[in-house]
Structure 1
């Protein structure tokens, strides 16, 4: 008997279709894909979740992102204006979906588990980033009307979510983390921490 998705949990790594910021001397596209690969590997190692990858923008970039994933990982293009909710829609039947920004290659997988637990009571659960953006956005299904209307992205300020929530516990805030979006962010990477191999390799070789 097939599951109706009522207990299914999905994590989607969302990757922009073009290079964004990169450290000096590094190719922006190579940097984007290295971080995406490491972020995907963190998610793929989690237990009891289904994993997917989404490309925000040009469908031609889906192929290069698919090449970073394990065979059989769903990989698809999403609307760059509403990447989180479009990724949720394409994830299929589920109890909850967590969308993760591509630029958190050293994210502890434990933080994703905290978001899923929080979604038992909240409509949205987030991992705030130190720069005021969001490293991950979890959404309970079916998606609440106010979440559909707001269509949060990784750049949605936490203050806006808090201001728009219809009840006290509609938004759950998990432990914070850091996205790699500036030279200052690179100082947060822990060389002694296992993982983030592709990002580490690019940093070592200009």
Structure 2
């Protein structure tokens, strides 16, 4: 996994183990550079078209229709030719973004990127970050996942909310080949990006010449 960044931030991790862990909602802010800012970060649209007549039973415990309509316990909902649409937003999460590919083309996707490093010890790298984040707010490390590129619009599968919106990106970002490390707070609280020094991180990365 590879990280593209400016000379300044590259030197900070190489010299001091200084790193910034962002948040999902922070990526929506206008002041971020191109390739980082994404105003639709963590949001997708669910839809379902019902053609003709339909009847849905609430059952003994009620039923939720993709968050758009709730059918109460024991109730029956009848409708005809209806389209349901609902926006689904991920809760805020700590996020660290990397790329699965190393090339000049990928680097050019990130405005201001001048340097690249590779994470050579993935397990210890994220274990150390998790420990540092835990001193600020209790977190659970979900893991590292590839982003899925395409329209942030998904037909409801009738069971759950489908793809995690925290891992969905628009097609304009597909050249980044992003993989995303995610930590979720264990408590309900507003979170902010964190910058900290962990000198041991220097052992887990190496410079890559692109």
Q: Please tell me the TM-score bracket, short chain as reference.
A: under 0.3
Question: Which of the pair has the greater relative contact order for Cα pairs under 8 Å at 6+ separation?
Answer: 2
TM-score by length of 2: 0.23
TM-score by length of 1: 0.24
